[in-house]
Structure 1
Amino acid sequence: MLRTISQKVLSTKLRTQIKAMKRAMDPSCPVIKLNKDYKDAVERTVDVLKNEGVVALPTDTVYGVACLAQSTKAVERIYKIKGRDLSKPIAICVGEVKDVYKWGQAPFSAKSEALLDDVFPGPVTMVTKRTDVLNPNLNSGTELVGVRIPDHEFIRELANRLEEPLALTSANFSSQMSSLCINDFSGLHSRLDLIVDGGLIGTGVQSESSRKGSTVFKINSDSFEIIREGCACDATIVTLRDKWGLTLLG
């Protein structure tokens, strides 16, 4: 009797191990190839995200992994998938400038909307104070949040369709090179629920520049600071300093 029970336990453990090995050997997950009509891809991605899934998708700089920012469970999965330090914050992505005001506080009222129209959409992340409606478990150690509106039609349509922000970070294991095509992050495939394949991001020199990621900046009343140079540092400085008269700190 005991032997039979032991055999059953061993058999169950063996089947579990075999399943785990099969998952490791087959790194595939559903892949959607983008074409000119994004409607089907958007709807399929929405379905996955609404079920607290994590997806990989193209942006205007590098491939990212994303989930619903308001889902604590999904955000925790992103950290586990990437092996990311929990103390490192994750940015949010919205579809329109008007959405920035719901989830983040405008840097200064008189000029803010026109200024944001000059930097968004684009390869930049603006760090600002978060509002109370944003998931308190997202970047819980800080009152700040980075906000992105990528210059990429698919991800903007996705954010607009969701009517809530995406938590968005680069599609790679933490501290490894950023990804310009889905093969670049093949090690993550088995951990994801969906991959949206938009092809190679950029070409030649443009591609290597994109690997730097978005330029991260923060506006402080009448001044600003560059937190990460990224791929659009010079253009951001020209816009904020030369056009809007803000003082560059640092």
Structure 2
Amino acid sequence: MRLTRSLLNLTRMKTKKIKNVYDAALPASVVTASKLLTDGKVIGIPTDTIYGLACSANNREAIKKLYDIKGRNEEKPVAICVSDFSELKRYGNANHLCDELLEKLLPGPVTIVLNKSEHLTNPYLNPGTVKIGIRIPDFNFIRDVCREFSQPIALTSANKSSERSSLNIEEFNHLWNSLGGVFNGGSLSNSEENRKGSTVIDLSVPNEYRVIRQGIGYEDTIKSIEEYGFREVL
């Protein structure tokens, strides 16, 4: 009897621990993630590089919560994630970038930094800069969530500041209790190289680029943008 009760208590503990973990492979998880974002929650979500923490970019309280969970200085920028090029152009000023170049870079492990558009209305989103990093990951689940949510999603790596980035959900399980949901996309890579995250490149000025973070897509990114006549500014 005691053994049975002990096993029952252990089962309850495990269930409580993973009650907000969802299988990203299930179609219903897209709707669940979108609802959580609508409700102002921060969620853990897989991308094409590492796991991220995500929330509604135009929700003031959600952004503050994201920074609090991350343990991050509010003046340090976060990126946003969108589903396609039309959304990228809606939230970032990209008129000087041709479609052919964008199609070479995205979707993929690249964050393009542009000047914010008037459609990013949250004063708590990167308050110290007029720029915004924009991602279109090469990962169906997060892009489907972006389409379902139909608003920009703030995105940063799923770890406390100064911790290493996460390739599976167990690596950030100490954050689960602070999140509205965790969406399990399995192990994203067996390579430590993936922990570098996306290549972050500033293309806010016509014909110029500045590397902010090399990331895992660095060489291909630089090759592509230099083919289109961009020169590096240090």
Mapping for residues 75-114 of structure 1, pairs under 5 Å: 75-106=63-94, 108=96, 111-114=97-100
The one-letter code of the counterpart of 2:180 is D
Determine which of 44, 53, 74 is the counterpart of 1:65.
Answer: 53
Whether the aligned pair in 1 keeps the contact of 2:57 and 2:122 (CA below 8 Å) is no
- Are residue 151 (structure 1) and residue 145 (structure 2) matched? no
The one-letter code of the counterpart of 1:240 is I
Q: How far did residue 107 of structure 1 move?
A: 5.6
Q: Name the residue aligned to 2:105.
A: 119
Mapping for residues 234-245 of structure 1, pairs under 5 Å: 234-241=219-226, 243-245=227-229
Whether the aligned pair in 2 keeps the contact of 1:54 and 1:77 (CA below 8 Å) is yes
The one-letter code of the counterpart of 2:34 is V
Q: How far did residue 247 of structure 1 move?
A: 1.4
SS at match of 1:211: helix
Q: Name the residue aligned to 1:128.
A: 114
Report the TM-score when normalising by structure 1.
0.83
Determine which of 32, 53, 62 is the counterpart of 1:74.
Answer: 62
Distance in 2 between the 1:226 and 1:29 partners?
A: 40
Distance in 1 between the 2:23 and 2:145 partners?
A: 15
Q: Name the residue aligned to 2:23.
A: 33
Distance in 2 between the 1:199 and 1:62 partners?
A: 11
Deviation per residue, 1:80-103 (Å, 9 max, x gap): 111111110110000001111111
- Are residue 44 (structure 1) and residue 29 (structure 2) matched? no
Q: How far did residue 28 of structure 1 move?
A: 4.1
SS at match of 2:35: helix
Q: Name the residue aligned to 1:221.
A: 206
Q: How far did residue 118 of structure 1 move?
A: 1.2
Q: How far did residue 217 of structure 1 move?
A: 0.4
Report the TM-score when normalising by structure 2.
0.89
Structure 1 unaligned segments of length 5 or more: list them: 1-22
Q: Name the residue aligned to 1:165.
A: 152
Deviation per residue, 1:160-187 (Å, 9 max, x gap): 1111110000000011100000011011
- Are residue 247 (structure 1) and residue 231 (structure 2) matched? yes
Whether the aligned pair in 1 keeps the contact of 2:23 and 2:184 (CA below 8 Å) is yes
Larger Rg: 1
Determine which of 169, 179, 193 is the counterpart of 1:209.
Answer: 193
Distance in 2 between the 1:29 and 1:82 partners?
A: 21
Aligned residues: 218
Whether the aligned pair in 1 keeps the contact of 2:70 and 2:160 (CA below 8 Å) is yes
